[in-house]
Each structure stands twice: as structure tokens, then as C-alpha cells.
């Protein structure tokens, strides 16, 4: 049994390589830190002592939490990320579970699950095309 090269790549790396995002996205995420006082405090602490917040790291001017890029309290930026991974050709208006798994594997922000759920509830395309959860009626 043979496997192709992509099957041996960890799923998180594969997700990153298959998702071509605008080059200014990371700059926009960094700007979201400027509007979030809590994140600013964490960054300042990490710059003084890298072990001040054990779940967070400050690498290449980006805040990471457990390996995920932290996004500040910027509703527009958060909506942009959800749209990128839900509305795009790659996302294909996926379910809440799928969209959350993809975004949650790469990014973190407080209230992320609730925000994604609300976004998808308001997505007309997804609501019109989602599958039925009812059993088929059977033969008549």
C-alpha cells in the first residue's frame, strides 16, 4: 500500500499550506493587538520575561497561545477570518463544527466558538444548503 506525500504531512501544517491567505493578514492581526488592552499587557509581560504567561509566547511580533495565533478584540478582523475559512471556496460554507475546527486549529480569540456559531447562523448560503437531520420517511 503506498501513500502520497501529503498524507504524511501533519494536518495542521497541511491546513496552513493549503490556505493561501492575503499577505497582509498577519499585519492586520498584529494591529488588532493595539485595540486590546489585555493582549497589550500580556505582550509587555512576555517581552520582559518569556515565562511570565506559560500558555503564551511572543514570536516574530505575534502573540501565540498554545501554538495558535492570538487575535485581538477586533470584531471586523474576527469576521474576516471566519469569512475566509467559511465563505471561501476552501471553506465551502462548512458546518459550525468544521469551521470551528479549522479556525480553532490556527487562531485563538476569546469567545471564538460563540462568534463562529453566530456567524454561521446568519449565513444565508449555509442555512439554505445545510443537510437535513431528519430520517427519511421510508416507503409508502
**84: number of Cβ within 10 Å:** 17
**pLDDT by residue (tens digit) across 24-64?**
888 999 999 998 999 999 999 999 998 888 899 998 889 99
pLDDT value at position 8? 47
**pLDDT by residue (tens digit) across 65-94?**
998 999 999 999 999 888 887 765 555 556
Per DSSP (E only), the strands in 3-139 are 56-59, 62-65, 68-70, 107-108
**pLDDT by residue (tens digit) across 104-128?**
889 999 999 998 888 887 765 555 4
Amino acid at each position: 500500500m503506498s501513500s502520497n506525500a501529503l498524507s504524511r504531512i501533519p494536518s495542521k501544517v497541511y491546513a496552513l499550506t493549503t490556505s493561501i491567505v492575503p499577505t497582509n493578514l498577519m499585519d492586520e492581526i498584529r494591529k488588532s493587538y493595539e485595540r486590546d488592552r489585555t493582549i497589550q499587557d500580556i505582550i509587555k509581560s512576555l517581552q520582559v520575561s518569556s515565562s511570565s504567561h506559560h500558555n503564551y509566547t511572543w514570536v516574530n511580533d505575534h502573540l501565540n497561545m498554545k501554538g495558535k495565533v492570538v487575535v485581538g478584540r477586533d470584531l471586523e478582523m474576527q469576521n474576516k477570518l471566519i469569512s475566509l475559512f467559511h465563505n471561501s471556496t476552501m471553506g465551502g460554507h462548512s458546518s459550525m463544527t468544521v469551521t470551528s475546527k479549522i479556525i480553532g486549529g490556527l487562531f485563538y480569540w476569546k469567545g471564538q466558538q460563540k462568534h463562529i456559531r453566530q456567524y454561521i447562523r446568519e449565513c444565508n448560503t449555509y442555512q439554505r444548503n445545510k443537510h437535513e437531520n431528519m430520517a427519511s420517511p421510508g416507503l409508502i
